[in-house]
């Protein structure tokens, strides 16, 4: 059983790198006690070191968000829950003909079932202590057609729908639920994708991907993290049922 803390507790899934790591650091700097739910001990421990370096506190639980019992046990050990950041997810590149049934099942297990698990087991902990804030990481792919993102777009559309349902069902019980829909963000996934698919042309292709956003660059994990913190903090207590697009103008500016 995790020891009680005076600081508000936030669970961040998939915090071993990228947006999850940046969000953990940003929220730790603002006084949140960070509870990392991640499958990778190595990445999570690196994030915890950065959290503590920012003056924060935290702990790591090895959690497979696709596994019901793993998630149930992790949430049962929390003394309370003030905020939940559903960030864990996987990507897939390809259209409906490229996506295999196995691809669909893998993305469903992590991107949809994983979010469901954290909502299903996290909400009761929040409700016992008067409510809290949930932020789900969706994508601009949940609202516009992105080439070769069929399976990924399907799961992020489900994330947006789950967000709206939770916001509606629990608004009278002190639960706020919102989602963030980023455009392209420079994370380790982007670097790995380029190295795998464009060996020797990584910088050229990186610049091409960055140029698709009118602002002329990719976002940074820290920029997404600041928005996640704002929504979760008291400054965002009038916000629920919203989808925050943060994409460098991709969906709003026609070039």
- Residues annotated as catalytic are 152
CA distance 155 to 157: 5
Q: Is the dihedral of CA 139, 144, 149, 155 positive or negative?
A: positive
213-216: long-range pairs with CB below 8 Å, 24+: 213/183, 213/184, 213/247, 213/248, 213/249, 213/250, 214/248, 214/249, 214/250, 214/253, 214/255, 215/248, 215/249, 216/248
């Amino acid at each position: 059983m995790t020891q009680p803390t005076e600081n508000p507790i936030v669970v961040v899934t998939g915090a071993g790198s990228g947006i999850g790591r940046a969000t953990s650091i940003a929220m730790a700097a603002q006084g949140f006690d960070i509870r990392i739910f991640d499958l990778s001990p190595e990445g999570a421990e690196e994030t915890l070191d950065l959290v503590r370096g920012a003056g924060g506190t935290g702990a790591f639980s090895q959690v497979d968000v696709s596994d019901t019992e793993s998630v149930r046990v992790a949430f049962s050990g929390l003394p309370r829950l003030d905020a939940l950041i559903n960030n864990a997810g996987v990507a897939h590149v390809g259209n409906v003909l490229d996506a295999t049934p196995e691809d669909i099942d893998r993305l469903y297990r992590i991107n949809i079932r994983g979010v469901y698990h954290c909502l299903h087991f996290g909400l009761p902990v929040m409700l016992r202590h008067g409510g809290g804030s949930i932020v789900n990481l969706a994508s601009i792919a949940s609202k516009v057609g992105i080439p070769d993102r069929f399976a990924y777009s399907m799961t992020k559309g489900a994330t947006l729908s789950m967000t709206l349902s939770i916001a509606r069902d629990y608004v009278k019980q002190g639960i706020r639920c919102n989602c963030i829909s980023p455009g392209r963000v420079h994370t380790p996934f982007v670097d790995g994708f380029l190295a795998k698919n464009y060996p020797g042309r990584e910088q050229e292709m990186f610049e091409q991907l960055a140029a698709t956003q009118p602002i002329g660059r990719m976002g940074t994990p820290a920029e997404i993290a600041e928005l996640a913190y704002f929504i979760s903090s008291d400054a965002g207590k009038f916000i629920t049922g919203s989808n925050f697009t943060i994409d460098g103008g991709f969906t709003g500016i026609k070039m």
